[in-house]
Every structure is written in structure tokens, then in C-alpha cells.
Amino acid sequence: MRVMEGVFLIGGAGISHDADCCIYLVDAGGSLVLIDSGVGVDTEKIVKNVRDAGYNPKDIEYLIGTHKHIDHIGGNRFFKDSFNCKVIMHKLDAEAVESGDQLTTGAQLYGVKLRPCKVDMKISQTTSLTVGQLTFMLLHTPGHTPGSISVLLEKEGKRILFGQDVHGPIEPSWGSDVNQYCKSMKLLLSLNADILCEGHFGIYTSPEKVKAYIERYMQIYGCK
């Protein structure tokens, strides 16, 4: 599914495995960037979707893991081993993926086994990543997990926000922090994104819809 020129939704419930988060592919002009890798059960379907979008999965240069939950990073090891891509995560969530932590990644809850995966680039603060002709802003947006990141991309005059799990949940036993979440959502609002690519609930395609979506969850979680 095409979000816009060079940006695709290639995984998620009904598209790949039903436990997968929304997985996005960005064409940076030769090199590809994958945002999240799904639960890791039906990775071949994701690879097929990359091919069906007209790309060679061998061109995936970076895999950005938005946070440590299994439905987002379960396929990391497969993509790294298969296509030699560099995995990027925030350092606060990277450790659980590198050590194969079955608990805080939610792997046990999902009934799948997390294969540990090395993280090549651990960011500790907001960082920009230039790939081909594009610059990705990797924003530290803790709350859902301590090391959650959101990705902002400007392309053809549009600000595309890969906010991933904007909807939460905010579950303290999974390391969520509501105060951090509220602060992070304020940051996302301040970006005035034109398009929001969410982690499970699809794509919002106008600044008004993006704002309304984020504000709705801020209200649900009692942000002031």
C-alpha cells in the first residue's frame, strides 16, 4: 500500500502476519529504510511485499526499531541476517533486544520466541540520519517504553511522522510512563506533521487528522 511516492505500508494486520505492527518502507533513492520489522513469524510475507512494491529487499540499508515490543522488533534478526542491514534503536530499548529479553519485549505474552539481535546504532538523543537524498529525524519520544523513538521525514514538501505506538497502551508494568508520554505527544503535536503513519491504526493524511488523533489519546491518558 502506497502512502505517497516512495513510502509504503508493507506490513501489519491483514497485510502480513496479524500480530505485526504497521511496517513502513521508505525509498531513499537506491537505499531502502525499513521502519519496524513485525513479530518475526511471517517475515517472508513482508519480503514479498517489498518485492511487490517494486524493490529488492537486499537494498534495505537501515532498519529502525521504534521500540522494544516484539510486534515491532521480532523480525530484526531475520532482516539483519538476510540483508545485512544496520539496525538502529534507542539505547534504552536496545538492550532488551540484544539480550533476547522475553518479558519486557512482550514476547512471552505473544507466545513467540524473540531471537536476540545486535543493534548497530544506539541513539541516546534526537539524531538525524541521512540516507541517499533523505534525512530522517529520529526523535526520542519516551512514554510507551523508555526508549521509544518517532521518525520524522520531510519528502516532497510533506512532513511525514512515523509515530508508531501513539495510541499506547500506557502500561506501567511494561515500563510505560504517563508523564513522559504526555511530554512526547506534545513534541509530536509541535511538529505539525502532514501525515501520521501509526503503529497499528494506519495512516492519517492531513494535519487536522494528525492533530486530532494525537490529541484524542492525550485526552484518554489524561495529559494536561
* End-to-end Cα separation, the chain, in angstroms: 36
Size of the site for Zn ion (CB under 5 A): 5
Q: Which of 3, 9, 10, 21 binds Zn ion (CB under 5 A)?
A: 21
Angle at 180 between CA 179 and CA 181, to 5 degrees: 90
Q: Which helix (H) or strand (E) holds 62?
A: strand 60-64
Joined together, the cell numbers standing for residue 218 give 492525550
**Which CB atom, from 6 or from 148, has the smaller least distance to Zn ion?**
148
Residue 27 within binding range of Zn ion, rule CB under 5 A? no
Which of these segments, 76-84, 117-125, 164-172, 174-182, binds Zn ion (CB under 5 A)?
Answer: 164-172
Region of 21-29, 56-64, 122-130, 149-157 interacting with Zn ion (CB under 5 A) = 21-29
Angle formed by the axes of helices 76-83 and 43-52, nearest 10°: 60
Cα 72 from chain centroid? Answer: 7
Answer yes or no whether residue 199 interacts with Zn ion by CB under 5 A: yes
Query: Is residue 35 near Zn ion by the rule CB under 5 A?
Result: no
Q: Which DSSP symbol is given to 173? A: G
Sign of CA dihedral 213, 219, 220, 224: positive
**Inter-residue contact 19 to 41 (CB < 8 Å):** yes
Q: Does residue 93 touch Zn ion according to CB under 5 A?
A: no
At closest approach, how far in Å is the CB of 164 from Zn ion?
A: 7
CB closer to Zn ion, 116 vs 169: 169
* Residue whose Cβ sits closest to Zn ion: 69
Report the residue number, 165 or 194, with the smaller CB distance to Zn ion: 165
- Site residues, Zn ion (CB under 5 A): 21, 69, 71, 165, 199
